[in-house]
C-alpha cells in the first residue's frame, strides 16, 4: 500500500486512487478512473482531516493516518455530504472518538439523513468562520449549489491552500500529486466540469469572483490531482462559466434506416463548407462525457431523430433530456427529422429542451427519405446557423 504524500510541512494527502472504477453514480463513464482525496492538516494544537473518502477505501485512509502516527483527530471537515466524500466519516469517528465533524448548517441535516452520525458529534460552521488549529486556521466559505445545496470550501490561510471539494476537480486516476505533472489534466477537468458542474455555472461564476482576491498557492480538490498553478485553473473556469457561449455546433442524431443520417450528414457538410465548427454525435452510441464536454463550447444545438410511435426516438429523447439538465450556454437550436404518417418530434424535443430558452433557427422534416427539397432546406438552415456563428 502506498504511503501518505506530503504536500508541505504537516499537510498530507491521505486519500485513495480508484484506478479501475468505470462509472460514477451509475451514470458517468470514467475513462481514466478517479480518486477520493482526503487531506490531513496538523496545527500545533489541533489536527483536522478534510474529507473522508468513499466507504470501501476507508481502510486505505486509516492506514495512511497510522503511517503518520496520528493518534488524535480534533476535526473532520465535511465540505460536501455526498458519500464519496462523507461516507467514511462514521468509521473515522469510531477510530477517533474525540473528533467533531465540521460542516454547514444545511449539511448537518443531510449528513444525519445519509449516515449514522450522532448529532452531538456534528458542529456547524458559518460562512466566513475561522477555526484555529494552532499556528494555522481553517476558514470556511459556504458555496451552495456547487453542486449540492450544502457545499462549502475550506481555506487554510497561512499556507494559502484552498480545499475546494468537487469544484475544480477531475475524474483522473494518476500517480501525479500535482496537476502540472499530469499530461491529461485539462481534458479531464473539462469533462468533469461538463458532467457535474455545468448546470451550476451561474452560481459558480459568482463564487469565482469571491475567490479572486484570495491569495492561493494550491487548490486541492476532492477528485484528481492538486492544482499547483491555481490562477490558470481559475481562468479556465472563468472561461467555461462566462455568459458568452462558444462557437461550435453540436449535431446529435440517431437514424434507424438511414434517412436521418443523410440529413445530419448533409447539415454537417454544409456547415463545414461555411467554416462553422461541428461536433457530431451518434446518439445510438453516446459517450456522455464526450457529449457533455462538447456542450461547453456549443452555440447551436441540432437534434435529429426519426419518428418512433409518433414521437422522437428514445435515444434522442435521452440526449435532449440530458442536455436540458446540463444547461449549456447554447443560444440557438434546430431540429431535423423523418416520419412516415405523422410525428410529434418538433413539439416533444422543444419541450425537452425548454430550460435552455433556445432561439429555434429552423426545423426540417422529411416524409420518408429526404429529397432535393429537404436537402435545399437543410442548406438554408446551414446559412442561418452560419450567420449566427460567423458574425
CB atoms within 10 A of CB 360: 12
What pLDDT score does 391 carry? 78
Q: In sequence order, what are the beta bridge partners of 12?
A: 6, 40
CATH 3.60.15.10 fits 5-241, yes or no: yes
DSSP-assigned letter for residue 227: B
Across the range 112-133, mean pLDDT stands at 97
CB atoms within 10 A of CB 139: 17
Provide the pairing of β-strand 5-8 with 23-24: unpaired
Angle at 188 between CA 170 and CA 162, to 5 degrees: 35
Alpha carbon 52 to its chain's center: 20
What pLDDT score does 69 carry? 97
With contact defined as beta carbons under 8 Å apart, do 336 and 369 qualify?
Answer: no
Please state, for a pLDDT cut of 70, what percent of the chain lies above it. 99
> Cα–Cα distance between 52 and 222 in angstroms, integer?
10
State if pTM tops 0.85: yes
> Cα–Cα distance between 290 and 292 in angstroms, integer?
6
Across the range 106-125, mean pLDDT stands at 97
Q: Is residue 207 packed enough to be buried (19+ CB in 10 Å), middle (13-18) or exposed (0-12)?
A: buried
Q: Indicate whether 2 pLDDT > 80.
A: no
Q: Indicate whether 1 pLDDT > 70.
A: no
Q: For residue range 28-78, what is the model confidence (pLDDT) as tens digits?
A: 889 899 999 999 999 999 999 999 999 999 999 999 999 999 999 999 999
Q: For residue range 20-42, what is the model confidence (pLDDT) as tens digits?
A: 998 888 888 898 999 999 999 99
Q: Average pLDDT of the chain?
A: 96
What pLDDT score does 31 carry? 85
Q: What nine digits make up the cell of 321?
A: 433530456
What pLDDT score does 29 carry? 85
CATH topology of domain 248-384: Rossmann fold (3.40.50)
Across the range 225-243, mean pLDDT stands at 96
* Cis before 147? omega within 30: yes
Domain edges within the chain: 5-241, 248-384
Q: For residue range 261-306, what is the model confidence (pLDDT) as tens digits?
A: 999 999 999 999 999 999 999 999 999 999 999 999 999 999 999 9
CA atoms within 13 A on the CB side of 252: 32
What pLDDT score does 365 carry? 98
What pLDDT score does 26 carry? 82
CA atoms within 13 A on the CB side of 32: 19
Across the range 304-323, mean pLDDT stands at 97
Element (H, E) at 155: strand 152-156
Amino acid at each position: 500500500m502506498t504511503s501518505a504524500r506530503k504536500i508541505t510541512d504537516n499537510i498530507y494527502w491521505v486519500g485513495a486512487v480508484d484506478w479501475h472504477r468505470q462509472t460514477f453514480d451509475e451514470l458517468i463513464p470514467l475513462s481514466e478512473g478517479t480518486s477520493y482525496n482526503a487531506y490531513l492538516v496538523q496545527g500545533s494544537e489541533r489536527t483536522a482531516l478534510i474529507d473522508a473518502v468513499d466507504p470501501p477505501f476507508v481502510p486505505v485512509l486509516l492506514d495512511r493516518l497510522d503511517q503518520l502516527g496520528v493518534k488524535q483527530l480534533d476535526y473532520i471537515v465535511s465540505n460536501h455530504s455526498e458519500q464519496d466524500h462523507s461516507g467514511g466519516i462514521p468509521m473515522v469517528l469510531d477510530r477517533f472518538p474525540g473528533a467533531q465533524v465540521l460542516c454547514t448548517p444545511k449539511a448537518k441535516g443531510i449528513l444525519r439523513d445519509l449516515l449514522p452520525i450522532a448529532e452531538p458529534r456534528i458542529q456547524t460552521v458559518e460562512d466566513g468562520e475561522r477555526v484555529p488549529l494552532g499556528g494555522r486556521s481553517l476558514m470556511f466559505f459556504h458555496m451552495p449549489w456547487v453542486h449540492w445545496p450544502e457545499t462549502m470550501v475550506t481555506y487554510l490561510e497561512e499556507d494559502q491552500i484552498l480545499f475546494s471539494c468537487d469544484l475544480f476537480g477531475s475524474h483522473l486516476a494518476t500517480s501525479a500529486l500535482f496537476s502540472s505533472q499530469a499530461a491529461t489534466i485539462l481534458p479531464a477537468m473539462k469533462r468533469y466540469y461538463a458532467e457535474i458542474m455545468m448546470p451550476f455555472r451561474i452560481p459558480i461564476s459568482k463564487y469565482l469572483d469571491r475567490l479572486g482576491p484570495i491569495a492561493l498557492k494550491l487548490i486541492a480538490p476532492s477528485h484528481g490531482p492538486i492544482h499547483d498553478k491555481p490562477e490558470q485553473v481559475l481562468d479556465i473556469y472563468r472561461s467555461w462559466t462566462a455568459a458568452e457561449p462558444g462557437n461550435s455546433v453540436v449535431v446529435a442524431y440517431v437514424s434507424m434506416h438511414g434517412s436521418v443520417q443523410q440529413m445530419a450528414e448533409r447539415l454537417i457538410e454544409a456547415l463545414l463548407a461555411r467554416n462553422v465548427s461541428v461536433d457530431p454525435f451518434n446518439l445510438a452510441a453516446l459517450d456522455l462525457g464526450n457529449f457533455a464536454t462538447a456542450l461547453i463550447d456549443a452555440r447551436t444545438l441540432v437534434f435529429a431523430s426519426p419518428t418512433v410511435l409518433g414521437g422522437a426516438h428514445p435515444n434522442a429523447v435521452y440526449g435532449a433530456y440530458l442536455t436540458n439538465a446540463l444547461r449549456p450556454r447554447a443560444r440557438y437550436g434546430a431540429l431535423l427529422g423523418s416520419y412516415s404518417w405523422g410525428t410529434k418530434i418538433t413539439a416533444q424535443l422543444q419541450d425537452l429542451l425548454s430550460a435552455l430558452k433556445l432561439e429555434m433557427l429552423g426545423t426540417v422534416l422529411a416524409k420518408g427519405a429526404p429529397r432535393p427539397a429537404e436537402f435545399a432546406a437543410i442548406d438554408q438552415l446551414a446559412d442561418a446557423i452560419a450567420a449566427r456563428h460567423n458574425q
